[in-house]
């Protein structure tokens, strides 16, 4: 099951501030944490931490472009990946408040070329990932450079039926958010990038934030994307809504501040954005309008993360404490941003932060690319045999992430070997079989894909991804 590419979407943390933690001590502790990560090759990016609405740490670590050694600074623009969704949702909410759009507006009103099921899909469904519209990344065999909204629309229109009844389930859909940005453009009668600039970025003074689409705007001081081994892995598509936005720490801080007031939309609209969605069976998802939502100790935490090509991004906000963590990186797959944010949270509590484990995926990737797959697997077994990880993160997700890295490169056989090793290490985990099945499906090994999806379902009968994939494979001509 896809875990990191194309989108990391929600990592929720609590960000309390201990009264005893002075600003200078907080800064020093976060500095030590970030230095540890940078020195172990885990952090190449920029960091902003706010406590009680005030910035307590802001710094750039590493390079904006590994090819020429250009350094990052705190005004470097990063591709936001799925963190862009909160802006797309804001565009829709603005239009609703202005009477140009309704949350109940039907998909068919804007795109009559869809099958009849579009009469049942609303803007609300698209905003909350409850539409049943599939993720276009799952439908495309390969994602071509220069992929456009029009191509995504063509792909989605060809889908004969929804994955489920709208409103009945939560299923993360990048395709739904591409459609949402196109609806914003149609309802506003402006190109999406112009509407967002005129109605969100400029009013908030976000001078370094823009939508990168077919207009191909120039981006000054841009971070270039690389993978964990330093190979170029830059952003190269032109779609909007699900991603497409570049921004900086300073601009995202302005955005964070604006969301505590009514600078753009009213308090009732913001409350709706920051509230979990009720499904048709009465249960709740943990997603509002462009934000993951969680309540802890009576406090509401909203967050979103993103990942595509070499970029990994993360924004989390404690709405009561007004504490925020913003992490933007351009060397993908080198660190668990959620774990790093949890360490920052410990600092804000006045505690000594746990140093994040070195991702075993990063260690193995470097070995594979330098010494070959066999050497990397021997090293993995040796590290596991030592026990307690030895400072490495040996969690199930590590080999999963690594397998998808090679699957994304088109090295399907390498991905299969890594997923099989994960099955060996975590035989009771349903997701390892799901991932192995997907790799077999990519290879065209249908019978093996079916066997592994079936095993994933044995371990987790609620794994909708495996259920849907099995139906497709078994019904394929």
For 381-392, what is each residue's pLDDT tens digit? 999 998 766 788
What's the total number of domains in the chain?
2
Whether 49 maps to a domain, the answer reads: no
Angstrom CA distances, 180 to 103, 126, 240, 272, stand at 11, 7, 9, 17
Do 327 and 409 fall into the same domain? no
Top-confidence residue, 142 or 59: 59
Please list, in sequence order, all residues whose beta carbon lies within 8 angstroms of the beta carbon of residue 444, skipping any fewer than 6 positions away. none
How sure is the predictor about 113, in pLDDT bands with cuts at 50, 70 and 90?
Answer: very high
Q: Is the pTM of this model over 0.85?
A: no
Taking the C-alpha atoms of residue 45 and residue 64, their distance in angstroms, rounded to an integer, is 8
For 465-475, what is each residue's pLDDT tens digit? 899 899 889 88
Residue 351 DSSP label: S
The pair of three-digit structure tokens given for residue 343, joined into one six-digit string:
């360490």
Whether 61 maps to a domain, the answer reads: no
For 384-421, what is each residue's pLDDT tens digit? 998 766 788 899 989 998 999 899 889 999 999 999 99
Judged against a pLDDT cut of 50, whether residue 119 lies above it is answered with: yes
Among 318, 348, 378, the domain boundary falls at 348
Report the CATH number at residue 333: 3.40.710.10
Whether 37 maps to a domain, the answer reads: no
Amino acid 22: pLDDT: 64
Whether 123 maps to a domain, the answer reads: yes
Considering only 2-11, 339-348, 352-361, which range has the smallest mean pLDDT?
2-11
Amino acid 15: pLDDT: 52
For 285-331, what is each residue's pLDDT tens digit? 999 999 999 987 788 999 999 999 999 999 999 999 999 999 999 99
Q: What is the mean pLDDT of the segment spanning 38-44?
A: 92
- Nearest 5°: phi and psi at 434? -60, -45
Strands (E) located in 108-228: 210-211
Whether 27 maps to a domain, the answer reads: no
Residue range(s) defining the domain that contains residue 436: 358-475
Angstrom CA distances, 64 to 45, 55, 67, stand at 8, 23, 9
Do 282 and 191 fall into the same domain? yes
Do 363 and 291 fall into the same domain? no
Q: What is the mean pLDDT of the segment spanning 18-47?
A: 84
Amino acid 351: pLDDT: 81
Q: What is the mean pLDDT of the segment spanning 368-377?
A: 95
Do 453 and 404 fall into the same domain? yes
Judged against a pLDDT cut of 60, whether residue 11 lies above it is answered with: no
Do 249 and 267 fall into the same domain? yes
Do 245 and 125 fall into the same domain? yes
Amino acid 337: pLDDT: 87
Judged against a pLDDT cut of 80, whether residue 432 lies above it is answered with: yes
Taking the C-alpha atoms of residue 169 and residue 162, their distance in angstroms, rounded to an integer, is 12
Whether 246 maps to a domain, the answer reads: yes
Top-confidence residue, 119 or 3: 119
Whether 406 maps to a domain, the answer reads: yes
Taking the C-alpha atoms of residue 313 and residue 102, their distance in angstroms, rounded to an integer, is 30
The pair of three-digit structure tokens given for residue 474, joined into one six-digit string:
């078994």
Do 198 and 162 fall into the same domain? yes
The pair of three-digit structure tokens given for residue 397, joined into one six-digit string:
């997700």
Do 290 and 337 fall into the same domain? yes
Considering only 10-19, 77-86, 170-179, 423-432, which range has the smallest mean pLDDT?
10-19
Report the CATH number at residue 431: 1.25.40.10
Do 295 and 367 fall into the same domain? no
Among 317, 348, 379, the domain boundary falls at 348
Amino acid 21: pLDDT: 41
Among 348, 378, 394, the domain boundary falls at 348
- How distant is the alpha carbon of residue 409 from its chain centre? 19
Judged against a pLDDT cut of 70, whether residue 7 lies above it is answered with: no
Do 337 and 382 fall into the same domain? no
Average confidence score pLDDT of the chain = 92
Judged against a pLDDT cut of 60, whether residue 157 lies above it is answered with: yes
Which residues face 359 on adjacent strands? 393
Top-confidence residue, 236 or 477: 236
Do 323 and 447 fall into the same domain? no
271 within 8 A of 289, measured Cβ to Cβ: no
Amino acid 355: pLDDT: 83
18 within 8 A of 341, measured Cβ to Cβ: no
How sure is the predictor about 243, in pLDDT bands with cuts at 50, 70 and 90?
Answer: very high
How sure is the predictor about 354, in pLDDT bands with cuts at 50, 70 and 90?
Answer: confident
Whether 434 maps to a domain, the answer reads: yes
197 within 8 A of 205, measured Cβ to Cβ: no
Do 343 and 434 fall into the same domain? no
296 within 8 A of 16, measured Cβ to Cβ: no
For 54-71, what is each residue's pLDDT tens digit? 999 999 999 999 999 999
């Amino acid at each position: 099951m896809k875990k990191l590419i194309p989108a990391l979407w929600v990592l929720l943390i609590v960000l309390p501030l201990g009264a005893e933690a002075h600003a200078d001590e907080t800064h020093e502790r976060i500095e030590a944490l970030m230095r540890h990560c940078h020195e172990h090759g885990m952090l190449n990016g920029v960091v902003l931490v706010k406590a009680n609405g005030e910035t307590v740490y802001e710094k750039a670590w590493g390079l904006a472009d590994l090819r020429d050694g250009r350094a990052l600074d705190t005004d470097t623009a990063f591709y936001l990946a799925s963190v862009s969704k909160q802006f797309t949702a804001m565009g829709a909410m603005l239009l609703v408040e202005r009477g140009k759009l309704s949350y109940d507006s039907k998909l068919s009103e804007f795109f009559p070329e869809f099958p009849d099921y579009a009469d049942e899909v609303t803007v609300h469904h698209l905003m909350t990932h409850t539409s049943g519209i599939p993720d276009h990344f799952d439908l495309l065999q390969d994602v071509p450079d220069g992929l456009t909204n029009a191509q995504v629309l063509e792909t989605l229109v060809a889908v004969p039926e929804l994955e489920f009844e709208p409103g009945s389930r939560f299923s993360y859909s990048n395709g739904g958010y591409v459609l949402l940005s196109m609806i914003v453009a149609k309802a506003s009668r402006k190109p999406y990038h112009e509407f967002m600039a005129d109605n969100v970025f400029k009013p908030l003074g976000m001078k370094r934030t823009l939508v990168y689409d077919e207009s191909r705007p120039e981006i000054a001081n841009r971070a270039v994307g690389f993978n964990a081994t330093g190979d170029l892995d830059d952003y190269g598509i032109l779609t909007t809504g699900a991603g497409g936005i570049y921004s900086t720490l300073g601009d995202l801080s302005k955005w964070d501040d604006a969301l505590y007031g009514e600078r753009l939309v009213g308090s009732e609209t913001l409350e709706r954005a920051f509230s979990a969605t009720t499904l048709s069976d009465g249960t709740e998802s943990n997603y509002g309008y462009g934000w993951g939502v969680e309540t802890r100790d009576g406090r509401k935490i909203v967050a979103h993360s993103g990942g595509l090509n070499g970029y990994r991004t993360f924004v989390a906000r404690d709405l009561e404490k007004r504490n925020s963590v913003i992490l933007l990186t351009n060397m993908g797959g080198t660190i668990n941003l959620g774990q790093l944010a949890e360490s920052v949270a410990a600092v804000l509590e006045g505690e000594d932060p746990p140093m994040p484990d070195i991702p075993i995926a990063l260690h193995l990737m470097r070995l594979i690319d330098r010494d070959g797959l066999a050497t990397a697997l021997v090293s993995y077994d040796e590290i596991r045999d030592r026990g307690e990880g030895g400072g490495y993160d040996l969690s199930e997700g590590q080999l999963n992430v690594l397998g998808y890295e090679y699957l994304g490169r088109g090295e399907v056989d390498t991905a299969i070997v890594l997923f099989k090793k994960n099955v060996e290490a975590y035989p009771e985990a349903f997701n390892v079989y799901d991932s192995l099945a997907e790799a077999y499906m990519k290879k065209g090994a249908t019978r093996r894909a079916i066997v592994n999806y079936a095993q994933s379902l044995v371990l987790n009968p609620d794994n909708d991804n495996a259920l849907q994939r099995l139906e497709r494979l078994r019904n394929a001509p």
